[in-house]
Each structure stands twice: as C-alpha cells, then as structure tokens.
Amino acid sequence: MNGIQQKELEKKLKNKHYDIVFIGAGVISILEAVYQSKLGNSVLIVEKDDDIGGAWRPIDIFGYKNIENAIHYFLHDDIAPNFMEKNLNWELIQTKNKQRLFKIKFIDKYIKFPFHNSIGRFLSYLIDPMFLKKDNNIFVKTLDLLKKIYQESGQASYYVKGGAVEIIKTVKEVLKKSSVKVELNTNIQSIEIDDNHKIVNLKSDKQSFMCSKLVLTHGARLPKIKSNKKEYSPVEKFHPRPAVHLLVEDNINTKIDQWIFSNNEIIKYVHDLTKFIDEKDRQPDTKVFVFALHPHIQKSSDIYINLHNEIIKAGIVGKKSSLKDYHWTDVFLPTLYDKDLNHIKNEFSPCISFLKTENFSRGIGYQANKWSSRIKV
C-alpha cells in the first residue's frame, strides 16, 4: 500500500464504522438488528421516515390516533405464531369474521360466502384471470384448483389483537433495550464497496459511515451500488395499491369485519377498523373502514361516494348510513423482488445480504428459531 492509499484508508476509517447497517426500520429489520446487537455486533438502522415501523406504522386521521394505515393480516406460517406469542407476547386472533363477496352484475347485488367456505374459494379462483390464462386444459385446471383448495383448508389468516399499535409498541420496547442505533429522516445517497478491505462506504444526506455488512429488504430504496470491479443500478418495480379510509355513521351491527371483493372493479378488500380505536375515543354509531383498491384506480372527487355506495349494496353498512369523512393514501408494494435481492447479494457478497420481508409472518418464521434465544419481551 503506497502513501496515498494509506491516507485514503485512514480518512475512511475516521468515519463511523459499524459491523452491520440496515436500510429501513421495518419490524423484521428491527428484530434482526436487535438480535445481531445481542451477539456483540455494532448495529445501525437508517430510516428515511421520521419514525420506525415501515408498512406497519399507524396514522392519525378523523380525530383518532393510531389507526391502521392499510389492510393488515398475517398469512399462515408453521413457525411464526409460536414466536409471536411466546417471545413477543402478542395475543393472536384467528380471522373468523371474514367473508368473500361476489357481485352479480346484472342485478347489481352481492352474494356472500364465509371466507373458508369451499364453494367461495372455488369461485374466487375460477374467476381469477391468472387461473384462466393457464395453458392446461379445463380438466387439468379443475384438478389443480381442487388440490389447491384442499391444501389451503385450515390455513386461516390471523392478526395481533391490539393491531399495528401493539406491533409497533413491542418493537420499540425491544429496540429500546438494545444497543442498536437508529438514524431517522436519513436517505442513503451512495453505496460504494471497497473489495480489498471488505468495507461498505455509505453516504447519506446527513453524514457518511462505514460497515462490514449492509442488510437490505424488499422495500429498500437504493441508489447505484458500486465496487472496485462493478456497479449495479437496482430497477425498482412500482406497484400501486391505493388505500382509502372512510368515516361512516351507521347504526347497523355486524359480526363481520373483513370482506374480500372477488370481482369488484374498484375494491379488493375492506376491513372494519373500529375495534382498534381506543374505547374511550370511540363515537356511537361511528365506524372507520379501510379499503385496498385495485392498482389502476386513481384518486378522484367521486371515488369516496362510490366506495360508500358499494358497501351499502354489499350490506356492510345500512342504507341510511352516511359518509362523514375520507382519507386517500398512495400505498406501493415493495419495489424489489427476491430475484433482485439475490442478484445484489451474489454480486456483492459478503458485504451485502438481505432479509425476506414481503410476507410478514413467513419473514418472522424464517428467523424465529434463531431469534428465540436472544429476543424476549
């Protein structure tokens, strides 16, 4: 190493060096960061927003605090529930009050099936464009469909009783008891890897720092990644999933609080969030709904009235219900796929790795056995 190289290295080493840096303060990233810190590693989380939580971070709307920001539920996983209950102390509730709705267009009415009803499952797959596009003949398609329905029987979705508020409260508690450092309101502007010394040099809009390993997730927003030998520009895929919250005055009582609209042109899912509002803040005959809309739906002046009309037709609220307020959120699904993250890891290993976070319960399940010995609320 010549004198110039030595000075350059010394200059770099003056920057703060961490063993591991995570981009994004989502729940799974935080749990892995805490785990790594308990192994003795120095850990930094860099988050572009002003608080942690990522997709699970609640919002304040309609005069209420900590409302679910979008449609949330956990899919089946063999391992995750045990870790959630025993290590995170979450009370899990199996989804029972859930329906599939099918619109009969020529009469503009809906028929309903319980979510786990086999007929409802069969119909939902039968009208799925992806199923119809398959090249197999109709006999093979039907056998595949029946097999899929049988395999999925008993695989109920579930959620934390306290909702996103409980999730964020837990991870903040776990984080507070660790040595993990978090930098909020911080955007990574450059990633440069020193192949010779196996060091990642990161520059944000505030400061520069270094690490031995950089950990990414599906939702990470990345600049061009450079090393001594190569560079790579991640191609982000933007898939909108607009969310709308409605505040509705309605005196109809229903035990159902989740609906899947199987063939509606606007709506994918609807959840009644009223049960997550603090009891002391709830107003009589007032309900808060969140809608997941199809990707092509655009924000417009009449969309909120149309959504209210649809849930009246579906019997979710009464005919005399009234729309009191509304809130639109531009939600985007994670912009990086598994193949993108695998490619980055393969190109820049051992300096870059990633966590699978797109499916929350499965993401927990991947790590649960490892985490169990170190993470406990």
Identity of residue 357: T
Instruction: State residue 6's pLDDT score.
Output: 52
> Do residues 3 and 196 make contact, with C-beta atoms less than 8 angstroms apart?
no
Instruction: State residue 37's pLDDT score.
Output: 98
Cis peptide before 284 (omega within 30 of 0): no
Would you say residue 83 has pLDDT above 90? yes
CA 134 to chain CA centroid, nearest Å = 29
Q: For residue 304, which of 289, 319, 314 has the smallest C-alpha distance? A: 289
> Do residues 279 and 333 make contact, with C-beta atoms less than 8 angstroms apart?
no
pLDDT above 70 coverage of the chain, percent: 88
Would you say residue 15 has pLDDT above 90? no
Length of the chain: 377
Residue 249: pLDDT band (50, 70, 90) is very high
Reported as a single tens digit per residue, the pLDDT across 182-216 is 999 999 999 999 999 999 999 999 899 999 999 99
Instruction: State residue 119's pLDDT score.
Output: 75
Instruction: State residue 254's pLDDT score.
Output: 82
φ, ψ of residue 7 in degrees (nearest 5): -65, -40
Q: For residue 160, which of 276, 259, 288, 290 has the smallest C-alpha distance? A: 276
Instruction: State residue 125's pLDDT score.
Output: 65
CATH match of 3-57+165-237+335-371 with 3.50.50.60: yes
Query: What is the rounded CA–CA span in Å between residue 164 and residue 156?
Result: 19
> Do residues 21 and 361 make contact, with C-beta atoms less than 8 angstroms apart?
no
Would you say residue 120 has pLDDT above 90? no
φ, ψ of residue 325 in degrees (nearest 5): -165, 170
Least confident of 3-17, 86-100, 165-179, 301-315: 3-17
The chain-wide mean pLDDT, for the chain, equals 89
Would you say residue 150 has pLDDT above 80? no
> Do residues 284 and 277 make contact, with C-beta atoms less than 8 angstroms apart?
no
- Read off the pLDDT of each residue in 105-128 and give the average, rounded to a whole number: 78
DSSP state of 294: P
pTM: predicted TM-score of the whole model, two decimal places: 0.88
Report the greatest alpha carbon distance in the chain: 82
Counting other chains too, the contacts that 8-16 makes at CB distance below 8 Å and 24 or more residues apart are 9/197, 12/194, 12/199, 12/201, 12/210, 13/210, 15/201, 15/207, 15/208, 15/209, 15/210, 16/44, 16/207, 16/209, 16/210
Would you say residue 371 has pLDDT above 60? yes
> Do residues 222 and 234 make contact, with C-beta atoms less than 8 angstroms apart?
yes
Instruction: State residue 128's pLDDT score.
Output: 63
> Do residues 186 and 205 make contact, with C-beta atoms less than 8 angstroms apart?
yes
Token pair, residue 214, equals 């950089």
Instruction: Identify the burial level of 105 via C-beta atoms within 10 angstroms of its C-beta, where 0-12 means exposed, 13-18 middle and 19 or more buried.
Output: exposed
Query: What is the rounded CA–CA span in Å between residue 36 and residue 27?
Result: 14
Query: What is the rounded CA–CA span in Å between residue 147 and residue 82?
Result: 28
